[in-house]
Structure 1
Amino acid sequence: MTPIFFETSRKEIYKFLEELREFAHRNKQVWILEMNSGIEEPQVEMMVKAIVDGIIELKLMEEGKTLKRYLRVYGMRRTAHKLDWVEYSITSSGIKLIK
């Protein structure tokens, strides 16, 4: 989504996201939007967070001499969930959560 946001007014971004959400709900679709935190203006990030039904955050941390991947479900409407960061790995058989 980032390239769209660079040259578009906040009002147009909000309208686009609202229309996208309505289209997805009306057609019983799930859409995944990728956005890099800290690149957009804070107001744009807050707009996106207010409109979407769920937010899954990913981060990569250097621990010692290795890189570790973490994810958390920051927000997911109509669900009870923990906000803790969970380590995961990407393997040949898919994504594995590490407890």
Structure 2
Amino acid sequence: MADLSQEQWTEQLQADDNAIILDVRTEAEVAERKIPNSINIDIHKGQGFIYQLEELDKSKNYYVYCRSGARSGQACNIMNQLGFENAYNLVGGILDWNGEVE
């Protein structure tokens, strides 16, 4: 796992042809606003979160975010334990996000 600032996260994401944006917040949080083209898997679903992660392609690079960066950091650690090689945590989460939202 790598903790990346918004600038690092955005630059790396834009240059990455193998990228997936993963939002680990609740559905209610996602309904308020989200980073475009992100997929949502709620980390609060416990084992359900693990099951959904297991269905993802581990060869992809995952750019993970949440509200403030804490849950996404946990999610990146879990992903690394499950064999995902590249999981990047957005420090500060969507609270500090200055980029595009939908």
TM-score by length of 2: 0.34
Structure having the higher Rg: 1
Which structure's residues are more often strand, by fraction? 1
Which structure's residues are more often helix, by fraction? 2
